[in-house]
Chain A
Amino acid sequence: MIRPKSNRQIIPWSLFFAALFSLSLDYWNWDQPVGIGPLHLPVWIYGFILLQLLLAAGIYLFSRKFWREPSQSE
């Protein structure tokens, strides 16, 4: 059985990813008038692009610290 290594260290990252997930459930936006942004795309689309950039950045930083070759981390 392989267990997650240091749960305490991973908790802040779990919260970060959970926060990103929560932001994707942007129900407060749903009944608002649609704002139009560059390329005449709805503004909220840019919000989703930003969320994915943040997710990529989060995974990059998380993996630098916690996701290493087995000899070092497992």
Chain B
Amino acid sequence: MVTLSIIILYLLVTLAIGYYGYRIGQNHPDDYFLAGRDVGPVVLFFTLIATNFSAFFFLGFAGAGYRIGYSYYGIMSFGTALVALTFYFIGHKAWLLGKAKGYITPPEMIGDRFRSRPLKVLFLIVMVIFTVPYLALQPIGAGILLQELTNGLIPYFQGAVILTVVIVLYVFLGGMRSVALTDVVQGVIMFSLMFLAVWVVADALGGLSAANARVYALNPELFSREGAGGYFTPRKWFSFMILWMLAVPMFPQMFMRFFISRDVAALRTSARLYPLVTALLFLCPVIIGVIGHIPFPELAGKEADKILPLMLTRFTPEWLGALIMVGALAAFMSTMDSQLLALSSMLTRDLYRDLFKTRVTYETQVQVGKILIVILSLLGLLIAYRPPATIFQIATQAFTGLAILFPTTIAALYWPRATAGSCIASILVGEGLLIGLHYELIPASFTLGFLPVVPLVGIAALMIVVGSLVSGKKPAEEM
């Protein structure tokens, strides 16, 4: 009862903030999809991190910490911290262009730069295909967490449905304004309660030093650089280290946040603070995963992803467990709302508007975007109904698929000689190779021991360079 009361209170507060976003908004695509491009430093910082840190951050990190050990912190924290650099070399340029040309979505920007509708559509298709599975991660994580913490009172799928309905309500009403404002609250809750979770759980195990010493005695491999069972090889480590920097800015919900910044200061502040957050915050779920070996030494496969809720249930009183769980729910919701809005924006602007050019008013765009939010959320729930493999594997596929768009984005922003044809070829070949590797049509040895992202992004970049030089076309006009 206490748990349910806390969850209901949190959801009501979230809805109230979402409603406030709706009240101060306007019925215009720029306002609905991008909050009028007027988001200041504090809100932008929180919406960037709350959007990026998802269900994967809570359940995936703790689960991987349990399986792999502390080595996982090194790769995730610094790898993610490097994303801050892209706020400058992608975000700043995208923001300038968005402001000057009125772009709302990434495919709009790419398509306009190359004056190529096929490239715009291809960019859109890839973003949608790889964001939808990642969207489904959020209700999956929420469902697992609610089920564990209520001891099955809220079954997995019902939990997923409840949270999705709340998210759809406030995104539907207020668009980006509601999403960004709820992200601030969700971000603050997520941060503070994650630290509280580590403190409480470690305290229950005799303090962090004592808990770590016990785990070290049980399984010293969890403290090794390679990770338990030699999980990381040097090539795998290198691959993960660059994966996030290549992939995170290519997630449409992250890319679109570059457009919403009020000024340079807002984006700059976010870049400065981002590595500080990853340094401290990312350690928390990994610690919980590692010291989870003390009470739960035998979890395997998907079970390891449940280590966080299991630890909270075991070591915290009901009210505190529920409060901490709200932090995890905040992580799910803050990512899913942004994904829904980004996908609906792209499908509205880059597909619907292009198909019915003459009849699409600004009001119609907003209405279509709202309808798509409902449809996309149902699609996410459909995938969550029978979740595939482990959360970790799904996330890695989505990251790699989107990272293949990175060379095209860099070429669009920095290389006047780049051609649409070479970018299209680069994306098609990159994604084709990824599909071939996934279905084992191409032997795993093709990647030379790296994760697929390394050779595939390398090949994609090479195709743009060679294709553009061979075409002999003149450099593009000034944008």
Binding site for B on A (CB under 8 A): 1-4, 17, 21, 24-27, 29-30, 32, 34, 36, 38-42, 44-45, 48-49, 51-53, 55-56, 59-60, 62-63, 67-70, 74
Interface contact A1-B479, CB-CB below 8 Å: yes
Q: What CA separation (Å) do A7 and B78 show in the bound complex?
A: 26
Residue A1 contacts which of B89, B210, B220, B416 (CB distance < 8 angstroms)? B416
Interface contact B223-A2, CB-CB below 8 Å: no
Binds A, one of B115-123, B267-275, B441-449: B267-275
Residue B223 contacts which of A17, A30, A36, A52 (CB distance < 8 angstroms)? A36
Interface contact A52-B279, CB-CB below 8 Å: yes
Closest A residue to B81 by CB, please name it. A52
Residue A70 contacts which of B70, B96, B414 (CB distance < 8 angstroms)? B96
B28 partner residues in chain A, CB cutoff 8 A: none
Q: What CA separation (Å) do A26 and B225 show in the bound complex?
A: 9
Q: How far is the CB of B260 from chain A (nearest CB, A)?
A: 16
Most B CB within 10 A of own CB, among A41, A51, A52, A74: A52
Chain A, interface SS category? helix
Q: What CA separation (Å) do A66 and B241 show in the bound complex?
A: 26
- B383, CB-defined interface residue at 8 Å: no
Q: How far is the CB of A59 from chain B (nearest CB, A)?
A: 5
Interface contact B413-A2, CB-CB below 8 Å: yes
Interface contact B70-A55, CB-CB below 8 Å: no
When A34-B223, A39-B208 are in contact, do A24 and B272 touch as well, CB less than 8 Å? Answer: no
Q: What CA separation (Å) do A17 and B89 show in the bound complex?
A: 13
A2 partner residues in chain B, CB cutoff 8 A: 93, 96-97, 413-414, 479
Most B CB within 10 A of own CB, among A4, A27, A48: A48
Interface contact B478-A25, CB-CB below 8 Å: no
- B12, CB-defined interface residue at 8 Å: no
Interface contact B212-A40, CB-CB below 8 Å: yes
Q: What CA separation (Å) do A51 and B28 show in the bound complex?
A: 43
When A42-B223, A53-B279 are in contact, do A68 and B264 touch as well, CB less than 8 Å? Answer: yes
Interface contact A53-B276, CB-CB below 8 Å: yes
Interface contact A67-B223, CB-CB below 8 Å: no
Most B CB within 10 A of own CB, among A34, A42, A74: A42
B476 partner residues in chain A, CB cutoff 8 A: 1
Q: What CA separation (Å) do A68 and B413 show in the bound complex?
A: 18
Closest A residue to B477 by CB, please name it. A1
Q: What CA separation (Å) do A1 and B410 show in the bound complex?
A: 12
Interface contact A52-B78, CB-CB below 8 Å: yes
Q: How far is the CB of B136 from chain A (nearest CB, A)?
A: 31
Instruction: Please name 25 pairs of A and B residues whose Cβ atoms are closer than 8 Å in the assembled complex, sorted by A.
Output: A21-B241, A24-B74, A24-B241, A25-B237, A27-B234, A38-B209, A39-B208, A40-B209, A40-B212, A41-B70, A44-B74, A49-B279, A52-B275, A53-B275, A55-B275, A56-B81, A56-B84, A56-B273, A56-B274, A56-B276, A59-B275, A63-B271, A63-B272, A68-B264, A69-B265
Q: What CA separation (Å) do A63 and B84 show in the bound complex?
A: 12
A39 partner residues in chain B, CB cutoff 8 A: 208-209, 212
- B328, CB-defined interface residue at 8 Å: no
Q: What CA separation (Å) do A63 and B97 show in the bound complex?
A: 19
- Which B residues between 396 and 433 are near A, CB-CB below 8 angstroms? 413-414, 416
Q: What CA separation (Å) do A16 and B306 show in the bound complex?
A: 40
Interface contact B478-A56, CB-CB below 8 Å: no
- B213, CB-defined interface residue at 8 Å: yes
- Which B residues between 44 and 81 are near A, CB-CB below 8 angstroms? 70, 73-74, 77-79, 81
